[in-house]
Amino acid sequence: MMDRKACLEILRRHITDDQIVVGAYSTANDWIQLSDRPLDYYFFGAMGLASSHALGLALAFPERRVVVLDGDGSLLMNLGTLVTIAAVAPKNLTHFVGHNGSYEANGGLPLPNRAVDLAGIARSAGIADTRDIRDLAEFEREVVGLLTRPGPVFADLWVEQGPIDARDYAGMYSVERRTAFREAVRRP
């Protein structure tokens, strides 16, 4: 199991300025403490739809890599997204899932099955390039490939549950941040 922030710090070092990062809930809460880029997009509104937003962004901006930081509880609310993504097959989409076995943003209560094989489900859905990553050294070895191979790429990142603390969702989801994203994403 990985420390999620350490995992995201590895990711941050490899994200390039032109890439879009779509964050959701607890992973987003960690990401915003590590990164402050105009192309960081904080999805909200309906749990489970981060990867659907990312799919729309990937289609709208085919020249940019879109990296979605999903949660396991979120993905389980929208498993059909994996089938849809596999069918659309955007070459510029990397789907990471922070797998901590809990609904952390909702108080840390457990998933119905903490050990669910999300990479296996993604593979069954039709996504050929899947990884199941459980330690930081392995993530460090894999991360460049995950961000550069033709998508869709899916990686289940097994992480420890983070603290159940207060989160500044208001700042994360502000109109100003979305407006800045909208302007930045259209610049070449």
Applying the rule CB under 8 A, the residues between 13 and 52 that interact with another protein are 41, 43-46, 48-52
Residues in Cβ contact with 186 at an 8 Å cutoff, skipping those fewer than 6 apart? none
We find the least distance from the C-beta atom of residue 141 to another protein, in angstroms, to be: 30
Q: Are 98 and 50 in contact (CB under 8 A)?
A: no
Q: What part of residues 109-168 is at the interface with another protein (CB under 8 A)?
A: none
How far is Cα 120 from Cα 16, in angstroms, rounded to an integer? 29
Find the shortest distance in angstroms from Cβ 93 to another protein: 11
In whole angstroms, the minimum distance from the beta carbon of 38 to another protein comes to 12
The whole-angstrom separation of Cα 26 and Cα 136 is 19
Using the contact rule CB under 8 A, the part of the chain among 53-61, 94-102, 148-156, 160-168 near another protein is 53-61
Q: Which residue has the tokens 């990164």?
A: 35
Q: Say whether residue 93 binds another protein (CB under 8 A).
A: no
Stretch that binds another protein, among 7-15, 57-65, 94-102, 126-134 (CB under 8 A): 57-65
Ranges of beta strands (E only) in 52-182 are: 66-71, 93-99, 102-103, 109-110, 129-133, 153-158
* Spacing of C-alpha 132 from chain mean position: 14
Regarding 78 and contact with another protein (CB under 8 A), the answer is yes
Task: Tell me which residues touch another protein (CB under 8 A).
Answer: 41, 43-46, 48-61, 78-81, 83-84, 87-88, 178, 181-182, 185-186
